[in-house]
Chain A
């Protein structure tokens, strides 16, 4: 199947992103890893769209770009707000949901 390798790249990106989200302590890096996951998803969509000749994948990829931008804006705004109140953005120190 053509584009087989793109899928592998996408998978690799997704796992790197997942590892980043799960393991990084700094919230900025977690947000960046999230962007990585979204990018992996976009890449997979585009690959399948090209391979299957279906234009809907492209459309969703565009949506994903807008989504990623919005998510980054909101996420960074939240982080700024958290920093203002707590003077830190280390996720280990944020336990508001505990118990």
Chain B
């Protein structure tokens, strides 16, 4: 039991609360220091827990802490418990380390924004929520973090909310994520129904031991595990911007650039990959779900890369690149190569955060514009930014030695080598591997295009902007340099076994060994396949860069213009993002709006406004009109009504009450007759019973019942005369009986 785990998410959350409450009264320096220190302290605690608890973190199920029992209802017990194993620990380190760096960067980037307390409060809120997400030990706790990062993302995308487009982008991100969250919830419910628990370790144990309820068929012959895994993946698709829910991420670039770097590149968008890796055991018993994950990831990787070819906004290119790289990660986890997927997540966090921060630095220099058609030649003007961008660019292209090479390579290896799918789906591995190879070529191409258009050749900006170009302040350059070092060296934790042998080391890579207890053993890949994949990646990276140089080296060159002229439709389509937004608008949003309008008109306007509200108003009005007629104002008419009412009351109270029901019971020859007054009004009554029908009463008196014995079987008529002495009224009741 490690008792400081709760401090990791708590410190940033406290920072957020403090800055929201008191930030406006504090100076810029104080706000920045508090926000950065909160995240940095979380980093120190994470690192302390991770490295000093290393054997336990890796091998004994991780450090766990029960903060408190959140709620229990019936047999649902949900504890607010945290666990740091190798997977969540690694994520914690990434989040807090890069988060702290981006806080430092933001201090420089947001130096001219007057709303800095709100910005840093949201950043802290995001870090806290993200840490809850990765540290949560039960699905509801993870879900809190999941929603928390969604909220922080929404708030930060729409940070400059006065621009309508920014606010819309925030809403789009939030709503698209909500669609995914519904999948997360359904998956959670399915797992709970099958295993009866929401604790992640218990669910994973159930999956590992082959729990019968988890493997039982649910719909269309597929197991509960398959559907749970699939629905969780729907949630992951929303958060991690995969087809078909990727549309929000490019729009999310409306937020400040540090936000894009932290949330929409390095951390939050990888939550989906984390979720799949976290629930690895469940996915392992549902190979079909894994195949879907891998195919969706591969298609997304390729599709986003193609869109990336034609984008002209610095951050949009990086956004599609992020979508594409997330596709790579999903192929990693989707081929049961969980360590590979998480490894790419790890390296991607460095180089993509670095690329985004470079974008921020460049846009800072260019007066806020991200239009790469009006850049070029920035290499000499922004020396530090350029160096950092070069390193990150080579890393994402997959040039050997740089971190992206190792992680991308391990994913490609895994795709070709995986045997998780069984016979029917064996084609999936090579299929996604081939797609990924093309997507990797695309990655190298569009990233190189970006590099050449921005940093090489002559500058295409107008002179006023050119005069303004300057290197960013130290607070922005420092995080860039740190991230560049990370982008350069982070791959060394994942050097593949074939390469390790050259250095006299054996066995799996460091990161795979760390992650093995959390996500299962890494794939066994033959050394030949590994060398082949490495050669292939290297060739792909260099050919992509070379191709881009032919097109864009030193600015737009002849082949680029020729290509656009040759295929104007294709370029326009890619530039318009294949009009997917328009497609969704036509297929989903427009029908939904029409439905909403119909519901609004029918339910709101007619049912509620007209009938339920207007109806009552009309009834009250009608009643008023009718009763107003009686309010003639003439006191004597009122009195007349009063007198009539009084007369009615007197009549009801004093009217002659006479029994109206006769009950006859026959026993042999004797008969008992009882009169029943249904209104139970007692009066001063006398009864005369004539049993034999001769006209003279046989029994008289005040008792309402009488008995008589007949001589023998025959039909008889009983007459009963009831007299009311008070009103001098009388009534006769008659009954026919038969004695047998």
Contacts and interface: CB of A to CB of B under 8 A. Distances in A.
Contacts of B631: 97-99
B633 A22 contact: no
B633 A21 contact: no
Interface in A1-53: 18, 21-23, 30
Interface residues of B, number: 10
Nearest to B629: A99
Count chain B CB atoms within 10 A of each CB in A23, A94, A97 and give the residue with the most.
A97
Interface of B: 628, 631-636, 639-640, 643
B636 A91 contact: yes
A98 B632 CA distance: 5
A95 B643 contact: no
Given A95-B633, A97-B635, A98-B632, 16 more contacts: A21-B636, A21-B639, A22-B639, A22-B643, A23-B636, A91-B634, A91-B635, A91-B636, A92-B634, A95-B632, A97-B633, A98-B631, A98-B634, A99-B628, A99-B631, A99-B633
Contacts of A95: 632-634
Interface string A60-99: 0000000000000000000000000000000110111111
B628 to A, nearest CB: 5
A20 to B, nearest CB: 10
A22 B634 contact: no
A23 B633 CA distance: 15
Contacts of A92: 634
29 contacts: A18-B643, A21-B636, A21-B639, A22-B636, A22-B639, A22-B640, A22-B643, A23-B636, A30-B636, A91-B634, A91-B635, A91-B636, A92-B634, A94-B633, A94-B635, A95-B632, A95-B633, A95-B634, A96-B633, A97-B631, A97-B633, A97-B635, A98-B631, A98-B632, A98-B633, A98-B634, A99-B628, A99-B631, A99-B633
Contacts of B633: 94-99
Nearest to A19: B643
A21 B639 CA distance: 8
Interface residues of A, number: 13
A99 B624 CA distance: 10
Contacts of B634: 91-92, 95, 98
B726 to A, nearest CB: 13
A33 to B, nearest CB: 11
A23 B640 CA distance: 9
A-B pairs with lowest CB-CB distance, top 4: A98-B633, A95-B633, A97-B633, A99-B628
Count chain B CB atoms within 10 A of each CB in A22, A23, A96 and give the residue with the most.
A22
B646 to A, nearest CB: 10
A22 B642 CA distance: 10
Nearest to A21: B639
A94 B636 CA distance: 11
A18 B646 CA distance: 12
A97 B628 CA distance: 11
A58 B632 CA distance: 40
Contacts of A22: 636, 639-640, 643
B642 to A, nearest CB: 10
A18 B634 CA distance: 16
Contacts of B640: 22
B634 to A, nearest CB: 7
Nearest to B640: A22
Contacts of A98: 631-634
A10 to B, nearest CB: 15
A79 to B, nearest CB: 13
Nearest to B628: A99
Contacts of B632: 95, 98
Nearest to A95: B633
Contacts of A30: 636
A18 B411 CA distance: 106
Contacts of A21: 636, 639
A81 to B, nearest CB: 16
Contacts of B635: 91, 94, 97
Count chain B CB atoms within 10 A of each CB in A23, A91, A94, A99 and give the residue with the most.
A99
A44 to B, nearest CB: 14
B346 to A, nearest CB: 83
Contacts of B636: 21-23, 30, 91
B72 to A, nearest CB: 64
A18 B639 CA distance: 9
A89 to B, nearest CB: 12
Contacts of A97: 631, 633, 635
A95 to B, nearest CB: 4
A1 B634 CA distance: 42
A99 B633 CA distance: 7
Contacts of A23: 636
A23 B634 CA distance: 12
B629 to A, nearest CB: 9
B273 to A, nearest CB: 76
Contacts of A96: 633
